[in-house]
Amino acid sequence: MYKILCSVLWLWATASSAKTFFSYADIAEQAIPGVVNIRTKSYVRRDPHLDLYEFFMGGKLPRQESTVSLGSGVIITQDGQIITNYHVIKDASRIDILFANSKKLAQADVIGVDRKTDLALLKVNVSWPLTVLTLGDSKSLRVGDIAIAIGNPFGYSHTVTQGIISAKGRVIGAGPYDNFLQTDATIHPGNSGGPLLDLRGRVIGINTAVSRRGGGIGFAIPINLAKKIVADLNRHGKVRRPWVGIVGKNILSDNDLDQGVEQSGIYGVIIANLIVDAPAHQAGVRIGDLLMQFDHKKVFDVHALQRHLSQRQIGDQVHLRLYRRGQGYLNVKLVLEEVPRSRDLPDEADLF
C-alpha cells in the first residue's frame, strides 16, 4: 500500500510540475530563431518599344522594374539549408533572408525547386550559428492534435498562432500531389513557407495556402513529403518520381466518394491508357482493367493512387490488384521506374 501511495504521489508531482513548466511560449521561444523572413525581388522586362525611343532619342532609360514579395522559411541544417514554398521564390532574381535572432540579412541561392508540390530548397552562407528546427513525423498526426504556426503574415515578422489539425489528406486542387494537412491555426499571406509545429516544437508541415472561402482554414504540406523532396533535391538536384506508366480515370464522382461508397465494393481507377514498355505494360496490365489496390492499399480515386505512389521509391517492387472483365480479380507485381523526361506523355494530372 505504501509503495502504491508513493507511486501516485510521484506521478501527481511530475504532472503538476509539467503543467507549471509548459506553455506555448516555450515552444515559440525555441522555434522562432529557426524561422526566417524571406524577401524576394523580381525584375520584369519593360516595354520593348522603349528600345526604339532610346535608339532615336539617345540616352538610357531604366531597363527593368522591381517587385518585392514576402514569405517565410524553415532552417533545416546547420550549414544553412532553408525550406520554403516554391511560389514564395518563383521568378525571383534576388532572395534575401532575414534572421530573427541576429536581425541580419543574407542572400540565398536556390538548390532546387519542385513545382508539383510547391516546395523549394535554399542555401545561405553565414558566419554566425543557426538555429535548426527538428523535422517531425506527419504520418503519426491525428485529427485534433494541437498545431502552432509561425510566419510573417502581411509582413508582421515571426507571428505565432495556434489551433489544431482539422483534417488530413485534403485535396484542394493545387496539383497532382495534393495531400494537405488542414488546420485552423491562423495563416495569412506571408505565412507561406513557414512551419506548422507540434507540441514538442517539431515541424510537422510547411504552411502553404488558405481557403479561398475564408473561415480561417489553412493548409500545410506534410513534412514527410517535404523530407522526401529535400532528399531528392540534395542528391540529384531534382525530384525523381516513380511511375507505373498508366493513364487513370476515376469511376466514381466526388459526391460518390464523399458518401463512402467503397462499402458497396465498387471503387477503383480505370486504366484508360497504357504507356508502351512502361512497368504496367510489361507486367501485363491492360486498358480497361480496374485498379483497386496499390501495394495492398485501396485505391478510391486518382489522388489516392498518386499519394500511394509518391511514398514509394524508384526500384521498389509493388503489388497491384486488378479487376478484369471476364477474368475476375488479378494480382500483378511490377518494379517502379523513374518517369522518363525525353518523350511525349499524356497530361500529367492523369499519368501515374
Q: What is the pLDDT of residues 172-216, one digit of tens each?
A: 776 667 788 999 998 888 899 999 999 999 999 999 988 877 668
Q: Are 191 and 181 contacting, i.e. CB atoms less than 8 angstroms apart?
A: no
* Predicted confidence (pLDDT) at residue 20 exceeds the cutoff of 90: no
Q: How far apart are CA 183 and CA 146, in angstroms?
A: 9
Q: Which of 114, 118, 198, 301 is the catalytic position?
A: 118
CATH for 242-350, options being 3.90.1300.10, 2.30.42.10, 3.30.365.10, 1.10.8.190: 2.30.42.10
**Average predicted confidence (pLDDT) for the chain:** 82
Is 87 noted as a catalytic residue in this protein? yes
Q: What is the pLDDT of residue 9?
A: 44
Instruction: Give the mean model confidence (pLDDT) for residues 253-276.
Output: 68
- Which class for 193: exposed (0-12), middle (13-18), buried (19 or more C-beta within 10 A)? buried
State percent of the chain over pLDDT 70. 79
In the chain, where the domains are located: 24-238, 242-350
**Which among 225, 223, 208 is positioned nearest to 71, based on CA atoms?**
208
pTM (global) more than 0.85 = no
Higher pLDDT, 178 or 54: 178
The answer to whether the CB of 280 falls within 8 A of the CB of 245 is yes
Q: Is the pLDDT of residue 231 over 90?
A: yes
Is pLDDT at 17 greater than 60 in this prediction?
Answer: no
**Structural element, H or E, at residue 154:** none
- Cell 522586362 belongs to residue: 45
CATH number of 24-238: 2.40.10.120
Catalytic residue among 87, 158, 188, 308: 87
Strands 35-45 and 64-75: antiparallel
Position 213 scores a pLDDT of 73
Q: Tell me what pLDDT residue 303 has.
A: 81
**Active-site hit among 192, 289, 303, 308:** 192
Burial class, 195, CB count within 10 angstroms (exposed 0-12 / middle 13-18 / buried 19+): buried
Q: Which three cell numbers stand for residue 91?
A: 521568378
Catalytic residue list contains 118:
yes
Please report which residue ranges of 251-323 form alpha helices under DSSP H: 254-258, 279-283, 302-310
